[in-house]
Amino acid sequence: MARIAQGRPVPDIVTELPGPKARTHIAFDEVWTSPSLPRAYPIVPVRGDGLTVEDIDGNLFLDFAAGIAVTSTGHAHPAVVDAIRRQAGELIHFSASDFYLPIYPEVCRRLAESAPIAGGRARTYLGNSGTEVVEASIKLARFATGRPYVVAFLGAFHGRTYGSMSLTASKAKYHAGFGPLLPGVFHAPFGRVEDLRWFDEVLFERLAPASEVAAIIVEPVQGEGGYIVPEDGFLEGLRALCDRHGILLIADEIQSGAGRTGKMWAVEHWGVKPDIVLTAKGIASGMPLGGMIARADLLESWTAGAHGSTYGGNPVACAAALATIDLLEAGLMDNARIRGEQALEGLRPLLSRHRGLVRDVRGLGLMLGVEFDTPDHAEEVQWAAFQRGLLVLECGRQAVRMAPPLVVSESEMATALRLFAEAVADVAGPAEREVREEAEAAGALTGVEAAG
């Protein structure tokens, strides 16, 4: 039971949504903040504990979005809060770029020891966010190989700064108005083993020689692109292709890592060892931290000044990361796997219950995606879940993702599955009636099929 719930059930919605204070706050926000922030729905959170979030009006929500797959240990895990408090009381900042912080190499070591890096010996660079370590990896790949080109995948999301935005190919809106982008970037089809033929047949044959490709960057499970799990053999094939041509394989585990799929790094599901693994989001439970874990010989090609950051690897974020990694290793990864299986079992019946509306149910651990027939229906399900107090988040063209904190309990998962099914049923009412009416008008369905 969440401390902040004080005996109330979770979720517990006590006002209309958004509530009166939320509406006032949103009006204030809209005057002063950048309109570029896309805001999925109007929640104004003020407190969190585990999976429970209280908003400004006193409504309690069940959080299956985790601040975009970030709060891996739940909101305000006592061990993480203690670590942050302790470190903040001792030293908040000194800059690891120019000086030696005791806690910084400790995080580097824990990450390097945990990641399956090709060749074994690894070192780590720390930044403040996902996009920063993506940028670092582009610089390192070009520098260490002396080659210009980088390949990413259609559907990928790697961030919003110039290099990472240029690699991103999930939605054209991320590029709109910002060209020209970083030169030397190609995009390959993602996910099926047969897609790998594109490299030999298109890229190396028509666009760029393999000997000039520095790196291929891949999300082992695509996140923002729709929670898409690649076919078995895809990542193994990429590794083999990279080995054949001396290309570096970069795994962007910013969303799929930190235990979320049931293993510390998603590539471990396929036994693949990248040359570089990128982490951020869940690795520090919500404190801003990014990590680039790389083959030691690659990082050792850099000399002093090649890369750095004033704040990267800030001691307070590092303290949160160490506490987080301890918790992940002490059982949260196993919980992610078990609760992920519970979720898939609970979500799959939606496919037959709402044929036509629900097109796919997929996932690995606690990266769970439900694909709908249209973007509007995905958005309506997200909204209907919000109205019931369940926080989920759209992704891809027309999918909704569930990415709860890894501390999710069996009963919290059961509650979320029930509320999600109700939200889908809400949308299915009118949506299924529409499909039935259209099909009946076209004479395509019998009475029995139309009722399904």
Residues that bind ligand PLP (CB under 6 A): 68, 129-131, 134, 157-159, 219, 223-224, 252, 254-255, 280
Of residues 325 and 419, the one with the C-beta less far from ligand PLP: 325
Residue closest to ligand PLP (Cβ): 130
Beta bridge partners of 361: 370
> What's the closest the beta carbon of residue 167 comes to ligand PLP, in angstroms?
9
Q: Which is nearer to ligand PLP, 291 or 315 (CB)?
A: 291
Least Å from the CB of residue 226 to ligand PLP: 12
Give whichever of 129 and 335 is closer to ligand PLP, judged by the CB atom. 129
- Share in percent of the chain as helix, strand, coil (round to 5): 45, 15, 40
Assess contact for 246 and 232: CB atoms under 8 A.
Answer: no
Tokens describing residue 448:
């029995």
From the CB of 452, what's the least distance to ligand PLP, in Å? Answer: 36
Are 199 and 136 in contact, with CB atoms under 8 Å apart?
A: no
> Tokens 């990361």 appear where?
321
**Smallest gap, in angstroms, from Cβ of residue 106 to ligand PLP?**
22
Instruction: Return the half-sphere exposure (C-beta side, CA atoms, 13 A cut-off) of residue 261.
Output: 25
Shortest distance (Å) from residue 60 CB to ligand PLP? 26
Nearer to ligand PLP, 223 or 396 (CB): 223
Give the 3-state secondary structure of residue 203: helix
Q: Which of 226, 96, 81 is nearest to 153 (CA)?
A: 226
Strands annotated E in 52-173: 52-55, 60-63, 122-127, 149-153
What residue ranges in 33-184 does DSSP mark as E strands? 45-49, 52-55, 60-63, 122-127, 149-153
CB of 278 to ligand PLP, least distance (A): 7
- In angstroms, what is the minimal distance from the CB of 209 to ligand PLP? 28
d(CA 124, CA 445): 59
At its nearest, how many Å lie between ligand PLP and the CB of residue 158? Answer: 5
- Residue closer to ligand PLP, measured from CB, 68 or 425: 68
Question: Per-residue DSSP letters for 33-66?
Answer: S-TT---SS---EEEEEBTEEEETTS-EEEESSH
Strand partners, 222: 228
Nearer to ligand PLP, 4 or 216 (CB): 216
Angle formed by the axes of helices 375-387 and 410-441, nearest 10°: 140
Closest residue by Cα to residue 253 from 232, 285, 233, 283: 283
- Closer by beta carbon to ligand PLP, 17 or else 402: 402
Q: What span, in angstroms and rounded, lies between the C-alpha atoms of 89 and 316?
A: 10
CB of 22 or CB of 287, closer to ligand PLP:
287
What minimum distance in Å lies between the beta carbon of 120 and ligand PLP?
Answer: 25
Which SS3 state, helix, strand or coil, does residue 448 take? helix
Order of strands across the sheet with 60-63? 45-49, 52-55, 60-63, 390-391
Looking at beta carbons only, is 367 or 424 nearer to ligand PLP? 367
Q: How far is the CB of 131 from ligand PLP (least distance, A)?
A: 3
Pick 283 or 384: Cβ nearer ligand PLP: 283
